Structure 1
Amino acid sequence: MKTALLIKEIYLEAFRNLGHLILKHYLRIFSWFSFMLIILGLYALIFRILTGFAFD
């Protein structure tokens, strides 16, 4: 029984901060992806304005 408790404690200690690490990296990647999409949209809008696209 003592061995099972030790294994459980080692498991909990090893994976305690893993969720925060994954979430932090996911949000960082998502924010950069969103930023790049906004830049791409602004580029497309400015390109259309400068080439005389009719927004009818």
Structure 2
Amino acid sequence: MKNVLLVREIYLEAFRNLGHAFVKSFFKVMSWFCFASFLIVLYAFVFRITTGFAFD
């Protein structure tokens, strides 16, 4: 019985840490994605301004 409780505790602890690491890495990836998207939009806007696009 002691071994089963030990395995259960190790299992729960691993998923606690996995969830935190997953959430942390997910937010890092999403922040880099948003930053890259913002740079693409900024580039497109500057490109349109320099080529004389009429914003009507």
> Would you call these one fold, judging by a TM-score over 0.5?
yes
1:1-56 alignment runs, 5 A limit: 1-56=1-56
Q: Provide the TM-score with structure 1 as the length reference.
A: 0.86
Aligned residues: 56
For 1:2 and 1:36, how far apart are their aligned partners in 2? 51
Percent identical pairs in the alignment equals 59
Find runs of 4+ consecutive structure 1 residues off by over 3 angstroms. Answer: none
Q: Provide the TM-score with structure 2 as the length reference.
A: 0.86
User: In angstroms, what is the RMSD of aligned CA positions?
Assistant: 1.2
Offset, 1:47: 0.5
Structure 1: tracts of 5 or more residues without a match: none
For 1:24 and 1:11, how far apart are their aligned partners in 2? 20
For 1:3 and 1:41, how far apart are their aligned partners in 2? 56
